[in-house]
Amino acid sequence: MFTAIMVTAVIAVVVMIVSSLLAKKTISDREKSSPFECGFDPKSSARLPFSLRFFLIAIIFLIFDVEITLLLPLVIAIPASSLTTLLTTSSFFIIILMAGLYFEWHQGALEWST
Confidence of residue 111 (pLDDT cuts 50, 70, 90): confident
Question: Considering the domain boundaries, does residue 63 fall inside one?
Answer: yes
Distance of CA 19 to the CA centre of its chain: 26
Kindly tell me the burial class for residue 17, based on how many C-beta atoms sit within 10 Å of its own C-beta (0-12, 13-18, 19 or more): exposed
Beta-carbon-side half-sphere exposure of residue 41 (alpha carbons within 13 Å): 2
Count of domains for the chain: 1
Question: Considering the domain boundaries, does residue 65 fall inside one?
Answer: yes
Q: For residue range 46-70, what is the model confidence (pLDDT) as tens digits? A: 666 777 778 888 888 888 888 888 8
Question: Considering the domain boundaries, does residue 94 fall inside one?
Answer: yes
Question: Considering the domain boundaries, does residue 95 fall inside one?
Answer: yes
- Domain with 106, as residue range(s), is 50-114
Distance, CA of 87 to CA of 103 (rounded, Å): 24
pLDDT of 28 strictly over 80: no
Question: Considering the domain boundaries, does residue 76 fall inside one?
Answer: yes
What pairs with residue 40 in β-bridges? 37
pTM of the model: 0.47
Long-range Cβ contact pairs of 82-85 (< 8 A, separation 24 or more): none
Tell me the range of 8-12, 43-47, 110-114 where mean pLDDT is highest: 8-12
- Pick the more confident residue, 95 or 108: 95
Task: Return the pLDDT at 6.
Answer: 93
Q: For residue range 66-102, what is the model confidence (pLDDT) as tens digits? A: 888 888 888 887 788 888 888 888 888 889 888 988 8
